[in-house]
Structure 1
Amino acid sequence: MWPNTFLTLLLGLALVTASAALVTPRQTEGAPWLVIDSDFPDPSFVQAPDGSWYAFGTNGNDRRVQVAVSQDFRTWDLLDIEALPQLAPWETAIDHWAPDVILRPDGRYVMYYSGEAQSRVGHHCVGVAVSEDTDPRGPYIPNPEPLSCRLPQGGSIDPSGFLDADGSRYVVFKVDGNSIGNGGDCNNGIAPLVPTPILLQEVSAIDGFTPIGDAVEILDRSTEDNDGPLVEAPNLILVGATYFLFYSTHCFTDELYDVRYATATSIRGPYVKSDERLLQTGDFGLTSPGGGTVCGCGDRMLFHGFCQEGVRCTYAANLQIDEQAGSVGFV
């Protein structure tokens, strides 16, 4: 994910032909529907014990971390609150991207997020914040140290939590290699292209953030798979005995931005990329859909797409996953 300052500059090039044709997705059976008609990129969500759903989005609407709520997953309300009112000592006050929230065994919530590093402005670390109490809306208090930085490789962004069937907890995230690329498409379109791997980090199942061992690479961009300059926005779920890793490819300002998935029978892979894109520009009238988060139950998702020039609204969809075929579809 890239800051809004870059977005304004890049949209003129990447969405010249698309900006005049941005439309609301067609409301047909199985189609995604608009749920937050406002700038709410990179949506993730968690369900509270009372059954309500809470979504969290990249900075926008004068908030570092935005929050929305739904009782039925169909209609959503954007809340007038700041989920991350405090900053950790390592981060700046801008560009908080792609928050993801998980429920801990003690009833508190843990938020993983991307924050800009003071030590290398323009590059990011994965931070962790814990809810002050058992309210999923926060406020979230940041840990003094980040979970991952990897600044020499470009930084760490787009974290997403995952609880495995055996009770082990993980965080998947992207190494932001394109932030140190050689220019061109999303700063990584000119050879030599820099790796943008997705890593898997085991963490303590008790606190949700203490690393266990080293992170391992589970996916990266490739020319053969037409991933463009990067892969990003990972989200991992388990259906039966199959792991489904959802992710986006290409630059988020590009019409080629999409949602794809790969499958594996072991959490550490190897992950095999599907030949089919789950969502791409033109599907259901969408433009540049991406940043998809799928429920661990496997039957619903949130994602963003351009709803007007420079604005990424949030959409919801109902899914059906066939574990045996390793396929994902809309219902």
Structure 2
Amino acid sequence: MRVSSFSLALSISLNQVALASLAAKRAKGPWLALDTDFPDPSFIKGEDGTWYAFGTNSNGKRVQVATSPDFVSWTLLDKEALPTFAEWETDVYHWAPDVIQRDDGRYVLYYSGDSKQSRLCIGSAVSAGIDPSGPYVPNPQPLSCRKDQGGSIDPSGFLDTDGSRYVVFKVDGNSIGHGGDCNNGVAPLQPTPIMLQKVAADGFTPVGEAVQILDRDDSDGPLVEAPNLILHDGTYFLFYSTHCFTDREYDIRYATASSVTGPYTKTGVQLVKTGDYNLTSPGGGTVCPCGDRMLFHGFCGGKRCTYAADILISGTSVNFV
């Protein structure tokens, strides 16, 4: 069949548009959400539809808060989410905050606090009202310390389908390591297990003993950390980071399980790593319970900026959109 020059030109033009569109979609990936020091971001969607993100102490705040109407553009608030701190802690560190909403409408803030006993512990605080941005009032006792094992850090809340509440966290074993990368690069290496602690309906009272659901191996370097747990289509996804946060090998990976208590199987997949999308040391990822979006941090100059991404979970595979 003879093709007119017009038809041929039109076909080429349409193909170019299609290829350009496909390339744009492939090139989208993560985008810069907060061009400021906002490490270890977590987030929650408020009842008004606004997204709220929380970050490690910086910019003059113990717990930073940012908001977004659409998860695309974000604004750092000039607001202190944690105006006071508990008797058990100092005002030196407030790391890796995470927020969940309770059945009564109030919110619970988890964070890593600097214990006066020289180890990091997990603190909790309850919102004074029903504003996700706070202020939060700290509870008098930490949720977990494990001082003999190096401390407890990186808490993240999880609500299961049966209404059970949990907090996943890291035992900070590398803090009592023997030096080297993140103080745990010299043998014998200390374990840095990820723990699962069931809590009561108040969101902070432990129920039973915590159980270990993951730990480092040689492929993870000195540690695993920054756990975040979601349930998607019957599969539990445990997102976590490996290696030291100052290392170019820092990344985000995930493990899967059919039960909340495991066993969790590491997929070995680096969801994002240095060099991807021109990122450096991406880590500290938090995924929405809905399973379709993520926040994480990466170095941008001398600070750790927050990046956002749309993700797609298919079966037991996770990919950026």
Same fold (TM over 0.5): yes
Q: Distance in 2 between matches of 1:276 and 1:146?
A: 34
Q: Distance in 2 between matches of 1:208 and 1:70?
A: 25
Q: Distance in 1 between matches of 2:45 and 2:71?
A: 10
Q: Distance in 1 between matches of 2:248 and 2:51?
A: 30
Q: What are the Cα deviations for residues 202-246 of structure 1, in whole angstroms up to 9, with x where unaligned? A: 001x211111100000000001xx100000000000001100000
Aligned to 2:150: 154
Q: CA RMSD in A?
A: 1.1
Q: Distance in 2 between matches of 1:128 and 1:30?
A: 36
1:27–1:33 Cα contact (<8 Å) kept: no
1:300–1:319 Cα contact (<8 Å) kept: yes
Q: 1:318 aligns with which of 294, 304, 310?
A: 310
Residues paired across the two proteins, number: 298
**Closer/same/farther in 2, CA of residues 114 and 187 from structure 1, 3 Å limit:** same
* Structure whose alpha-carbon radius of gyration is higher: 2
* TM-score in terms of structure 2 length: 0.92
Aligned to 1:308: 301
Superposed, 1:218-297 pairs within 5 Å as: 218-223=213-218, 226-297=219-290
1:276 offset after TM fit, Å? 1.5
Give the partner amino acid of 1:219. L
Q: 1:97 aligns with which of 95, 98, 106?
A: 95
- Partner of 1:92, secondary structure, is strand
Unaligned 5+ residue runs, structure 2? 1-23
1:275 offset after TM fit, Å? 2.5
Q: What are the Cα deviations for residues 276-320 of structure 1, in whole angstroms up to 9, with x where unaligned? A: 1101000110000000000000000000000112x0000000000
Q: Does 1:125 align with 2:105?
A: no
Q: Distance in 2 between matches of 1:119 and 1:182?
A: 20
Superposed, 1:1-331 pairs within 5 Å as: 29-120=27-118, 123-204=119-200, 206-223=201-218, 226-309=219-302, 311-323=303-315, 326-331=316-321
Q: Distance in 2 between matches of 1:129 and 1:44?
A: 16
Give the partner amino acid of 2:317. S
- Partner of 2:294, secondary structure, is strand
1:30–1:318 Cα contact (<8 Å) kept: no
Q: Distance in 1 between matches of 2:268 and 2:140?
A: 42
Q: Distance in 2 between matches of 1:258 and 1:207?
A: 33
Runs of 4+ deviating beyond 4 Å: none
Q: What are the Cα deviations for residues 158-199 of structure 1, in whole angstroms up to 9, with x where unaligned? A: 000000011110000000000010000000000111110000
Q: Distance in 1 between matches of 2:108 and 2:181?
A: 34
* TM-score in terms of structure 1 length: 0.89
Q: Distance in 1 between matches of 2:25 and 2:150?
A: 40
Unaligned 5+ residue runs, structure 1? 1-25
Give the partner amino acid of 2:313. I
Give the partner amino acid of 1:153. Q
Q: Distance in 1 between matches of 2:252 and 2:320?
A: 13
* Structure whose residues are more often strand by fraction: 2
